[in-house]
Amino acid sequence: MLNTDPNIADPDGFYAELIATHEGCNEDQSAALNARLVLLLANHIGDREVLREALAAARAAMR
């Protein structure tokens, strides 16, 4: 089951690190970095059902 409850220690600090990681990237590089990050985290999770839930939740948030 996908955990959507707050679960990151120091979320503001993590967000700052995420933004800093994109520093100096152009739009294409930033998109590629995000894609690699998604694939790394998806591999870490590994559970296809959880990944399906995450895909659906991300898509639903766009509506």
User: Per-residue pLDDT for the chain (63 aa), expressed as one digit of tens each?
Assistant: 999 999 999 999 999 999 999 999 999 999 999 999 999 999 999 999 999 999 999 999 998
Per the CB < 8 A criterion, the answer to whether 51 and 1 are in contact is: no
pTM comes to 0.87
DSSP 46: -
Q: What angle do helix axes 48-60 and 27-45 make, rounded to 10 degrees?
A: 140
